[in-house]
Amino acid sequence: MSIRYDDRVAIVTGAGGGLGKEHALALAARGAKVVVNDLGGDVHGEGGSASAAQAVVDEIVAAGGEAIAHGANVCNVDEVADMVKTTMNKWGRIDILVNNAGILRDKSFAKMDHSDFNMVVSVHLTGSMNCTKAVWDIMRDQAYGRIVMTTSSSGLYGNFGQANYGAAKLALVGFMNTLCMEGTKYNIHVNCLAPVAATRMTEGLMPAAALDLLKPELVTPAVLFMAAEEGPNRAVIAAGAGGFARAVITETSGMSFAGVDATPENIAANWDEISDASTGAEYKGGNEQSMKFLARAAEIAGVKFG
Query: Mean pLDDT per 10-residue run, the chain (306 residues)?
Result: 96 97 98 96 55 96 98 98 98 98 97 98 98 99 98 96 98 98 98 87 66 92 98 98 97 88 94 97 94 86 78
Per the confidence metrics, is the pTM higher than 0.85? yes
The pLDDT value given to residue 116? 97
Q: Is 165 a catalytic residue?
A: yes
Q: Are the C-beta atoms of residues 150 and 192 closer than 8 Å to each other?
A: yes
With b for 16 or more beta-carbon neighbours within 10 A and e for fewer, the 74-100 pattern comes to bbebebbeebbeebeeebebbbbbbbb
Pick the catalytic residue: 157, 165, 186, 283? 165
The pLDDT value given to residue 44? 46
Q: Write the CB contacts of 14 (distance below 8 Å, at least 6 apart in sequence).
A: 20, 37, 38, 39, 74, 100, 101, 102
The pLDDT value given to residue 295? 86
